[in-house]
Amino acid sequence: MDMEAPVLALVGFAREHFPADAQDRANMALKLDHCLRVFQEAETITTREGLSPNATRRSLWAALFHDVGRFPQYVAYKTFDDRKSTDHGRLGVRTLKRRSLLESLDEQDRKAVLTAVILHNKRFLPPDLPDQAAVPARVVRDADKLDIFQVMLEHLRPGAWNNPVVTLGLRDEPGVCTDALVDQILARKLGDYARMRTLNDFRLLLCSWAFDLNFPASRQAVQERGYLNELLDELPDLPKIRRVRETVLFALERK
């Protein structure tokens, strides 16, 4: 599938928003790289899952543009924290429309892409979503998670610089996990961003994504790359954390 034109459009749009300050520019470059890698992850998922050409085209466009709202968000608010600024999924949809970035797609494709973008950062997908929009939305959510695992692991490794823009200002308290998050995982539920207080809570939240991967290809990728084990190894050695480990590793292995 020829995706050169939309890739160049995204890169051009992002670069328009690059700020003068070096640290701000680095934060924004990180997001542009993320968009391009999520696009690649989506390519792998659609190929491995053998999705139809329609589903593949919609998924790839949605993956490429899923975080387009991040660029105007950072310019306006100097943060990627939606809680302190605005819903970047919604802002992404407004941006795509305002800038006519999906102009070359037909009406059905455009609708599916906009739906996937607005839903990519919601806690759950609505259960009644038609397949046309649901499949790209599921691909984007999985592809996004695959890349965030990688990015967060780089920032959560022992000795890594705790960049508050990436780790949302959470405190580094090695022995501390918030019980509410542990309980959510033990109940096989997705962790809640709003309950995070420490970096360990962020690790727990990432582990809970094992319950929310839509495609076998995505679970396989997490397993091959050892993301969960690496996160779990940084958590304190407590009985309840051992149960967390069993619960999430079991979820990942389910076919």
Per CB under 5 A, residues contacting Fe ion are: 67, 121
Question: Could you tell me the smallest distance in angstroms from the CB atom of residue 240 to Fe ion?
Answer: 30
3-state secondary structure of 12: helix
Residue 180 CA to residue 191 CA, distance in Å, equals 9
Beta bridge pairs of residue 171: 198
Closer CB to Fe ion, residue 82 or residue 109?
A: 82
Using CB atoms, what's the residue nearest to Fe ion? 67
d(CA 162, CA 120) in angstroms, rounded, equals 26
User: 86 — alpha (psi -120 to 50), left (phi > 0) or beta?
Assistant: beta
Closer to Fe ion at the Cβ: 121 or 218? 121
CA dihedral 185, 189, 192, 198 (to 10 degrees): 10
Q: How many CB atoms lie within 10 A of CB 44?
A: 16
Nearer to Fe ion by C-beta: 67 or 109? 67
Chain centre to alpha carbon of residue 196: 17
How many angstroms separate the first and last alpha carbons of the chain? 29
CB of 247 to Fe ion, least distance (A): 26
Q: Smallest distance, Å, CB 255 to Fe ion?
A: 28
Q: Nearer to Fe ion by C-beta: 155 or 245?
A: 155
DSSP symbol at 75: H
In angstroms, what is the minimal distance from the CB of 67 to Fe ion? 4
Which residues are paired to 198 by β-bridges? 171
Q: Cβ 80 to Fe ion, closest distance in Å?
A: 9
Q: How many CB atoms sit inside 10 A of residue 240's CB?
A: 14
Nearer to Fe ion, 209 or 235 (CB): 209
Which secondary-structure segment (H or E) carries 118?
A: helix 107-119
Shortest distance, position 187 Cβ to Fe ion, whole Å: 25
Nearer CB in complex with Fe ion: 154/246: 154
Question: To the nearest whole angstrom, how small is the minimum distance from the Cβ of residue 73 to Fe ion?
Answer: 10
The nearer residue to Fe ion, 121 or 178, going by C-beta atoms, is 121
Closest by CA to 6, choosing from 59, 70, 83, is: 59
